[in-house]
Amino acid sequence: MKVLLLYPQYPETFWSFKHSLSFIRKKALMPPLGLLTIASMLPENFETKLVDLNIENLDEKDILWADFVFISAMITQKESVHQVVRKCKELNVKTVAGGPLFSNLHTEYPDIDYFVLDEAEITLPLFLEDLKNNNLQRYYRSGEKPDVKTTPVPKWELVNQKAYVRMPLQYSRGCPYDCEFCDVVRLNGKIPRTKTPDQIIKELDDLFDSGWKGPIFFVDDNFIGNKKETKLLLKAIAEWKNHHNNKISFMTEASLNVADDEELMSLLREAGFNSLFIGLETPSEESLAECGKYQNKNRNVVDSVLTLYRNGFEVSAGFIVGFDNDDLSIFRRQIEFIQKTGVVIAMIGILQALPGTRLYERLRDENRLLADSTGNNTDFSINFIPKIDPEVLVEGYKQIVKTVYSKKEYYERVLTFIKNYNHQVDEYFNWDSLFAVFKSVFYMGILDKSRLYYWKTFFISIVKYPQAFTKFIAMSIYYAHFKKVFVD
């Protein structure tokens, strides 16, 4: 049996970093972890091939080679999915779909032959058993949450590592917080399920042995959802790093209460973590209460972010406008809030009602839904009736992103970050990194209109805060992408 594992193309979005990747001679951020894990779940006598449309084109011969095309996707990839499915149908090759997009929106894809939904540890064996018995059903679903201790190591040999910036791993699924706009709890549960430290060390060994020596992203819903277990893992990772004497760095997603735990921050540093994505969302206490983001309430969020900088972490963050409790002052307040935090990679979006969330259900009950979400909360679209006038909301949002990603405000945040950043973690440096420095100087320091702000920050960084210089170079490269998306 031959299986083509197909990952659809992302549109040009905030997280695509399309306009920055050439600086480091890469084509995409990460390979598709879900499909690589599925590959390891298939019987040994199955032949597998991976095609990631974010780094390569899809040839008809790849489709015709396969008995089945397995597709996994996020909501933002849905247009590419339609194109891929159409091509498979034309060539009369059967398609099997799973992943976040299809768990909620499978009815939008009538031409897909089979759906293996929810979590594959439960549903894929059901599909494989029916395949063996020549008795395939169209849908395979289960509300059961599998023990991720049974999840196999991803099949890294399918990956063209040179095309990617970082490699993904997963330690846990689920989050103890149930924010109204987030679909994580509905997809993965409220009680985090964790792998063992030995499992993660085995995954790191396999990835390391495959030749990867660059950064690794733990793609968990909330890496610190179970702090007790996370601390045990971090000790094991630190021991592994010391044993291999390597400089691999890690990044992940976490809730803001990470800044309240000195021991946790120390263990993260010792394990090699130097970057965290955190949902900050809004400066409005009323809007935080509305969406159930209680972990951010009743605290000085700016101080918490600065604490993380001082403890050796770069923070990227999500921000949202369009809550029912937002008033016309929210646009100015968000700009001030983002600038004070010094969060350089600020993902600012209009609130979206995603299928499967409490927000979606509430707005549906209130007859306020307008359309399905695009999954891209930075594309100026609104899929529900907001309390603020929709035109005012979109114009206010545009003003936020154009201001925050103007050259003056952008480099001001870079300066806020590097002034507070305490370099604690060794970072991997190679020829691609040196190439990035030269391209940063040439394109951002000579050709770009922001060059005066670039050089001001360049010299302040290298003279007064040399520990943050590599971070400055990275942030100048990020700007090549952000200004294309939001300003140019």
Write the pLDDT tens digit of every residue in 187-197: 999 999 999 99
pLDDT confidence of residue 141: 96
Q: What is the mean pLDDT of residues 301-305?
A: 98
Residue 177 has pLDDT above 80, yes or no: yes
pLDDT confidence of residue 87: 97
Residue 427 has pLDDT above 70, yes or no: no
pLDDT-based confidence at 22, cuts 50/70/90?
Answer: confident
314 three-class SS? strand
Q: What is the mean pLDDT of residues 317-342?
A: 98
C-alpha dihedral sign at 404, 410, 414, 415: negative
Residue 129 has pLDDT above 70, yes or no: yes
pLDDT-based confidence at 425, cuts 50/70/90?
Answer: low
pLDDT-based confidence at 372, cuts 50/70/90?
Answer: confident
pTM of the model as a whole? 0.94
Read off φ and ψ for residue 310, nearest 5 degrees. -65, -20
Start and end residues for every CATH 3.20.20.70 domain found in the chain: 166-419
pLDDT confidence of residue 448: 86
CA–CA distance, 60 with 88 (Å, rounded to integer): 9
Q: Supply the mean pLDDT for the chain.
A: 93
pLDDT confidence of residue 244: 86
The label of the residue with tokens 């917080």 reads 177
CATH topology of domain 2-140: Rossmann fold (3.40.50)
pLDDT in tens, 40-99: 999 999 999 999 999 999 999 999 999 999 999 998 899 999 999 999 999 999 999 999
CA–CA distance, 310 with 259 (Å, rounded to integer): 10
CA–CA distance, 438 with 193 (Å, rounded to integer): 44
pLDDT in tens, 431-475: 566 777 888 888 888 888 899 999 999 999 999 998 888 899 989
Under CATH, domain 166-419 is a member of which superfamily?
Answer: Aldolase class I (3.20.20.70)
pLDDT in tens, 265-298: 999 999 999 999 999 999 999 999 999 999 999 9
CA–CA distance, 121 with 366 (Å, rounded to integer): 36
CA–CA distance, 309 with 95 (Å, rounded to integer): 46
Q: For the chain, how many residues are written?
A: 488
251 touches 217 (CB < 8 A): yes
Counting residues of the chain whose pLDDT is more than 70, the rounded percentage is: 97
Start and end residues for every CATH 3.40.50.280 domain found in the chain: 2-140
CA–CA distance, 147 with 120 (Å, rounded to integer): 11
Q: What is the dihedral of CA 335, 477, 77, 218, to 10 degrees?
A: -90
pLDDT-based confidence at 235, cuts 50/70/90?
Answer: very high
